[in-house]
Amino acid sequence: MDGIEEIIHPDFILNVAPAGKQTVNTLIIETMGYDSADYLERKADTHNFMRQVGTLLTDPPDWPEPVQTTFNSILLKHIFRAGR
């Protein structure tokens, strides 16, 4: 990011390869655990790097905002969209 190399350690990486296509869509999945200011600041920086690798999905969705939908529905939507 901006000429800086960063090692990231997402909880999961899911590569979706649509049938008959050369492209691979990468989903970066992060399970969020805390809401302290220090944690939020560190994760904000890490998430910026992760977004450069693929589509970032957090569990719970929209973290740290209140949950509006389930993680499973968000994940399935992204998998089906990436598989087209």
**pLDDT tens, residue by residue, 16-25:** 998 888 889 9
What is the pLDDT at residue 19? 87
pTM of the predicted protein model: 0.83
- Give the chain's domain count: 1
Per-residue pLDDT, averaged over 43-56, amounts to 92
Which residues on neighbouring strands pair with residue 55, listed in sequence order? 27
Q: Is 44 in a helix, a strand, or coil?
A: helix
Q: Is residue 2 part of a domain?
A: no
Instruction: Give the β-pairing of 55-59 and 25-31.
Output: parallel
- Give the distance from CA 37 to its chain's centroid: 20
Cβ-proximal residues to 18 (8 Å cutoff; 6+ apart), any chain:
25, 82, 83, 84
Q: Is residue 73 part of a domain?
A: yes
Q: Is residue 66 part of a domain?
A: yes
Q: Is residue 3 part of a domain?
A: no
Give 54's pLDDT tier (boundaries 50, 70, 90): very high
What is the pLDDT at residue 2? 65
Nearest Cα neighbor of 48 from 38, 57, 56 is: 56
Q: For residue 56, what are the domain limits?
A: 12-82
Q: Is residue 30 part of a domain?
A: yes
